[in-house]
Every structure is written in structure tokens, then in C-alpha cells.
Chains A and B, each alone.
Chain A
Amino acid sequence: MEVKAVTEGDILIVTPVGRVDTSTAKSFEEEVMKALAQASKVAISFSEINYISSAGLRVILMAGKKVASTQGKMALINMPEKIFAVFKMSGFDKILKIVPTLEDAKALFG
């Protein structure tokens, strides 16, 4: 699947596009992991995601663990209400940093 990655200052903004389900999760994982190797401050934008399944949540979780293991920082931004509901329902909002915008992520990263 398509995953856009742009850098703003020292923050890498990763924007997956479309549906993250079982059939796209594998390539989503590869693209995200590739992007994570480039920066220690990462914002994943959900502005162009219309569906995420548990397979997709797992990739986000792995990304979070990978960033944490390298003392990096990760925030999830621009999350539509429907996607946020999925994170909330699975309890993921308790362990992942979900903030409204990139500015909030910048403030969080310090």
C-alpha cells in the first residue's frame, strides 16, 4: 500500500493511504518500518486512512515498540473519529500517544 513519508524539521511524518486490513498490513508494516529507520521522532498521520483492522493496529503497536526501543518518540495525529473509535475500543489509546495535530505532536516531542 502507499505510505507517504516527509520530513519537517527533525520530525518524520508518515501518512499511510487507504485501507489497512489483512491484505495490506504486510506492505504497510514494511513501509512504516523503513520510514522508522530514518528518524527518531515520528508522527503517523491518519488523515488518509479510511479503515484499520486489528492487523493494522498490530503494525502501529510494533512501530511504537520499535521507536521506544531506540529511545525515540512516536505520536499518532489527524485521526478521524471512526479510526479513533477503533483505537479506543481496543484500549490502544491507553498506551499510544494520540494527539489532534502535528503541532501537538511537536509540543509533545519537545
Chain B
Amino acid sequence: MTESAKILVFDEEKDTQDLFCQIFRHQIDENIYSFSFAFTFDEVHKQLDSNSFDMFITDLHIAGGDIVSLISQLREKCPYLRTIVTSAYGDIGTLRTVMRSGSHDFVIKPLDAKDLMQTVANTFKVVQELKRAKRTEQKLTAISDELSLSAQLQKSILPGNSLRESDLELWADTLPAAEVGGDFYDFFKLDDDRIGVVMADVSGKNVTAAMFAIIAKTLIKTFSKVYKSPAECFYNVNHSLCEENVTTRFVTAMYGTFNLKTLEFVYTNAGHLPIVSARPNEEPKLLDCDTGIALGIMDGMDFVDNVHKLVPGELIMLYTDGVNEATDIHEEEFEFDRFLKVFKEHPVTTPKLITNAVIAAIKEFTAGAPQSDDITTLCLKYRPRIVQNVN
């Protein structure tokens, strides 16, 4: 795309206008340059106030004002405008004055057509470059605005970090990537005995993913109050998401209810990662479970309730793929072995401490590589008081 440059010429000599129109007649005809002329300071201020120019060509000595300070002011007011100074005096003192004023180039008078054309052409290139940079900057600003909006949206739907309910301790946290993904977690009291927990990851990034996360989170919480079985809850969440979903977005999710009396964790899995279980004096492991398909893909799919009974002191963690797929600079992944090792190294711990230990281990592993996905975890520990005293 060829852009035209708007150029303002300031000179006391009236024949300057004819001279410029003569020298640049081709460029004017082809709309490459469009010239405006001012012959007094009044006129130049009027022009500068009412138009936006790309280039300003001015004589250094004009009665009734100070050109050097005008150029300096323009530098601040119009950062994308470039100035060319013309002067009959080509001595070092004059040149230094011109340079200090912040003008872009200098042409000696009487004006040589070839020199002037070349100088204007060079300056025009610089102006175009600046305009391009400005557009890029505007685009980047728009993108970062969108990113911060999705970060805010994502944060706004999270319930906080911790919950303590009789013998249950819970800690959840998320470490958003620079380009915010669609991770979210949730926890809530269902009745006197049961706590509901959710871990989910919406496909894709940014605002649309964040919006989808809000819908999914709301549906899960709403249906959790209606259906006691997590599988039934997901069947209905899936149905609702499929009805609305035109963007082929989907969400992998796990929803479980922990019963404080029976110690049963009943959970259903919609294409999400297996739970980590760390029992005292046992190897930490991933729990095998029946997996349904991610939510929002196909209506009518079945989900299954899996039951895992916690033992005193047991800790379970739900998480997103930002954990096991955290990648170092050699594109090697953190993977489950390193993940489980963290639990092994911290046999006596709390949900908060183990979460921090996992994040520290990931950071140490990825050292220097950018975080490409959100890292989200939710950890539960069942710790009856009597065991706590023994410990």
C-alpha cells in the first residue's frame, strides 16, 4: 500500500510555493506528496493546529518567532512528524543548532532540486516506518488489553484459595500463563456432609475461552445442587453446553464430591487428567478411573461415577495439563514421574505447602522457558484431628 505524505512548508519567500510545486510536480500529480504552505508564524500555527502533517520543511530564520523552539515543541506534540530545515547558512554553528532542535535533516539554500527530492524521499521513508511502528504498537496495545481482560475474567470466577471444613483442608491455586488459558477451579459446600470440587480446562485461550469457562462453571455449580451424582450432573452440563456451543470449544473437567462422614470421594471425569493420590506410607499414584468425553462436544454422552475412599492423612490433587506438560527450553515435558516425585519428597505436608512445592519443582524444571499454559491445582487433605495429634 502506497501512502501519501502530508507536508507543510514554512518560508517567508512567496516563490517557495512555486518552486516546490515545480520540483515535486510528479509526486503531487500522483498523490504521493500533498503540500501546504505557510509564510508567517500566524499561518504556520493555524496550519499545525488544524491539520496533522507527516513532514515539516522550514527555513531556519523567519521573522516574528523562534524556529528552533517551534521544532522542539513539535517533537513533543507530534512524535511522528519529521522536520527538514532549510537555510542559506551552512556553517557548523547553524548545523549544530539545527541538530539540537531535533530536526531530521538539513538542506542548504538555494535549494537544489535533486538534493531536496532525495532528502524528502528519505524522510518520507522514515515517516512510513514510524507509521508502521505506530500501527503495530496500537495492535499490540489492543491485544494486551484483551489479555488483561481475559486475565481479569478468569480471576473473577475463582472462589478464593482455601476452605477448611471439619477434618478437611483444601487449597487451590492458579498461575496464569502470559497468554491466559481457560483453566478454572471451584469448590463449594453442597450440604452438611458434602463438599463439591471442580477442576477444568477450556480449549483455546483469551476472552472466548474465559467466557466459555464462566458458562461451564455456572452450569456445573447449578446442576451440582440438582443432581447428587456427579455423573448425572455432567450429563446435564454437557447437554446444556452442546445446545449452546457453536464455536467447537470444549472443556475437559473433573467434578467430585467429598463426603466428610463416609470419606468417599465420588467423582466423574470428562476427559480430564487422572487424580493424584498420596497416602501416608504409600507410593503416590495416579488414580485409574472411567473417563467420559470432554464437555461440549457431543450431546447424550455418558459419564460414570468413580468412588475413591480417602484414608486418614491422604492427600489428593486435581490439576490441569499446565502441570504435567510444563516444558523446558529443550521442549521436554515435566511429566507425571517428576510430578509424583514431589509428593514422595514431601510425605508430611499440607495442601498449601505441597501446591507450592509442585509449583517450585515446575519452575526449577522449566527454568528460563516461558510458561505456555496456565498451571492450576486443587488439593484436598483429609486429616482427622486424632491423627493430627499423633503426628
Contacts and interface: CB of A to CB of B under 8 A. Distances in A.
Contacts of A95: 293, 297-298, 301
Using C-beta atoms within 8 Å of the partner chain, give the interface range for chain B: 20 to 34
Contacts of B201: 54
Interface residues of A, number: 19
Interface in A1-41: 19, 21-22
B352 interface: no
Nearest to A65: B248
Contacts of B321: 53-54
Given A55-B204, A58-B204, A91 B248 contact: no
Contacts, number: 62
Given A61-B297, A89-B273, A90-B293, A22 B205 contact: yes
Interface string A67-104: 00000000000000000000011111011000000000
B250 A61 contact: yes
Contacts of A22: 179, 204-205, 372-373
Nearest to B294: A90
Contacts of B312: none
Contacts of A92: 271, 293-294, 297
Contacts of A89: 271-274, 291
Contacts of A91: 270-271, 291-294, 297, 301
B342 to A, nearest CB: 21
A86 B373 CA distance: 16
Contacts of B252: 54, 90
A89 B272 CA distance: 6
A58 B372 CA distance: 18
Interface in B271-294: 271-274, 291-294
Nearest to A25: B204
A57 interface: yes
Main secondary structure, interface of B, reads loop
A89 B204 CA distance: 18
A92 B292 CA distance: 9
A62 interface: yes
Contacts of B248: 58, 61-62, 65
Nearest to B249: A58
Contacts of A65: 248
A65 B247 CA distance: 12
A58 B291 contact: no
A51 B301 CA distance: 27
A62 B204 CA distance: 13
A55 to B, nearest CB: 6
Interface string B310-333: 000000000001000100000100
A90 B179 contact: no
A43 B345 CA distance: 45
B203 interface: yes
Nearest to A56: B203
Nearest to A62: B248
Given A54-B203, A61-B297, A94-B292, 11 more contacts: A22-B204, A22-B373, A53-B321, A55-B205, A89-B272, A89-B273, A91-B271, A91-B291, A91-B293, A95-B297, A95-B298
Interface of B: 179, 201, 203-205, 248-250, 252, 270-274, 291-294, 297-298, 301, 321, 325, 331, 372-373
18 contacts: A19-B331, A22-B205, A54-B201, A54-B204, A57-B203, A61-B248, A61-B250, A65-B248, A89-B271, A89-B272, A89-B274, A90-B272, A91-B292, A91-B297, A92-B271, A92-B293, A94-B293, A95-B301
Closest 5 CB pairs of A and B: A91-B293, A90-B271, A91-B271, A54-B203, A58-B203
